[in-house]
Structure 1
């Protein structure tokens, strides 16, 4: 987690901070003296905080959002299991110290993990701190990191039972259709039509891999001197499935200047690769099927539209879930849907 996204926060919601410090000591984290706490990142799902002590020690804590939680969503214990399993692989992740499940400390689980030095490219100020050449390297390192994720030996890291090995597209359609019905604030007929088109055009799945599920530029930390990814973050949507789904989601999140933009995304700055360049780099790196990618990009845009609607709904329900970058508007959701329709039309889906 990066200090460039820190904001003051006296406490973590609904948490006994004294009890939390006591629990931290049981997992080997020993803050000294008075502690401070800041919320970090622009995420609006699971909430992330940095705690620091008088001696300069820093650690990261994650917990689910405040308020009503959808079934199976925001599972920080599962996320901690994935990160622990990836320790020692080629995938850069923070070390997990433990998960607090003591309800006298917090009514929801709290995960303690390593503070990783680096930069999160959350806005143009962060993007301007690195040169166009380094921006290009960020894109290349993200593709390398995604390829490392998809190459993980599931049996060796103890994650082969993380999720079903049944065809991934059908599982995603079922899960996110249910999420849509539970979290939507309005009807979008175009999204419902996309759901039908995606269900009718599922490509054959040739392999099952670890899938991050939410791999975009704000979910990685980078070394600002080289552009290398130092940590892949926010694994709450990780599962087992078709690896092309991940690059499809990355392309869905990666904006162009013609899109309806939330905030000031760095990806449109000089030096960062375009969506087409990212796709080409991934396919060249992995040798996977170009013909199937359009389907997964469509599904990724459909899924991101549903996620954005859920973020909007949670922020409406409880202002504590709002993040500094702002909240998606109906126009942002509609833009994702329109992009999905355009990709699907071009691919003949």
Structure 2
């Protein structure tokens, strides 16, 4: 059996192994990493031989840690990376190449419907009734989408929201508020099975699931990089942020919003958090804080999204897809029963 794991920003780790009576045997670690002294490779292999095939990444990584001391340097990889490669060899964890992805282009909907579709599609991916899915948002009216744990009164100025006719919807993932007017951001949701991020901490899973879009940004001329915990930045400043939710049913929702062309003055009238973040940055100009994709690329929003979809399709097996009527019906029911209710929206007052 063979498993591979590419460390985001690091090196490839591969593990070849056999299984005998429910135990790992003949373990052989390889890759383009660096290891000093090189004799330590035998110790890494020996640390894994004999372990149960049922132990998780943490246990595997601890066994590797225990087999080395301060004289050993793992460069470009980690004990956790070895553990993930082992789990992939056993078929317990998966990689990008193990999946085909449904790719859904932007469809204009009420933004609350997109929040509900995140939950509907995650349920289907976990059940295996839909492939892992990358879908882009388009919406027909302005809205503020707040994170699952944010306080409405601390994040949203009610007078500004009323003045501009902007409502508030709470999403299922954490993170910060999204100020969304039609055409002002580029937003997508990626839903994958939990096996794709098995063994990764939340921080590492953010960078792992964002890795493809760093390449997609390069394709449109933006030199971008990941900033822990959940930001994407270019040489000219922050351009987007991610939010994530791991469902107990076996799916992970990862979505990203990038500023395209935001009315920053309006945003500051609606979002209290905008003022605080500007203060933290020592920035007096809202337009300086919000660094739109439009100014960095010179491209239309539609052209950027098309390029992003093409970039993802080049690196992954994809199938053009659409929402089923059943999915849209379920999403509408969720909007009425959950996402449009005061009990949900104000669950953190």
**Greater Rg, structure 1 or structure 2?**
2
Same fold flag (TM > 0.5): no
Greater percentage in strand: 2
Instruction: Please indicate the TM-score interval, normalised by the length of the shorter structure.
Output: under 0.3
- The TM-score with structure 2 as length reference comes to 0.26
- The TM-score with structure 1 as length reference comes to 0.26
